[in-house]
A and B are shown apart, each in its own frame.
Chain A
């Protein structure tokens, strides 16, 4: 069974940093593109970033370019999102998702990031 478990969320002040992790199990991580998708409270889904199977290709939504970095460690079955210069508008539930080349096949339950002073 595919499982994706996010961690690392929390309360951070504007301008601060946070690193999210996603532990993958039930499949071979190195075979898949992986993505982060976020959902602000009461709002819709927004794709944030994706990374290819070996980490050589990375893509971001314009609003996070230069601030967020997606990475992976296939040996540790883990996906990461380093978030710097956080803004109030980055407040959201962040989902780890398997896929991103064309669609998201599996999703975690999300980790909540709150940016507030």
Chain B
């Protein structure tokens, strides 16, 4: 149950696109299409942005998209906006019906 690997920080200017990676192993990300992504603003509860690797919940902007290749999942945010500045966490279904989160990525909008 080792944490998934995410970059500590990413940044981008308004209007640009950024991608956050989430690297696991063949026992979690690599063997599952059950990767989800969460946005967390300071002092707030997390909010799901992507589930089942590529699915976007109702109400989430289509600027957010998810993908996966091998043991690495990715979250892409296009048309970056100031309100996107937050911490982002990936999560994957893992062995033994457990779940594992990534360490989190701080997104700064310049």
Contacts and interface: CB of A to CB of B under 8 A. Distances in A.
**Dominant SS at the A interface?**
strand
Contacts of A109: 45
Chain B interface category by residue count? 20 to 34
7 closest cross-chain pairs (CB), A and B: A103-B36, A103-B51, A44-B104, A107-B45, A47-B99, A102-B34, A45-B101
B46 A104 contact: yes
Interface of A: 35, 37, 44-47, 50, 57, 59-62, 95, 100, 102-105, 107-110
Given A45-B38, A47-B91, A62-B1, A103 B100 contact: no
Given A37-B101, A45-B38, 18 more contacts: A37-B46, A44-B101, A44-B102, A45-B101, A45-B104, A50-B99, A59-B97, A61-B98, A62-B1, A102-B34, A102-B52, A103-B48, A103-B52, A104-B36, A104-B38, A105-B57, A107-B45, A107-B47
A102 B33 CA distance: 9
Contacts of B48: 103-105
Contacts of B64: none
Contacts of A44: 3, 87, 89, 101-104
Contacts, number: 61
Given A62-B1, A103-B36, A108 B45 contact: yes
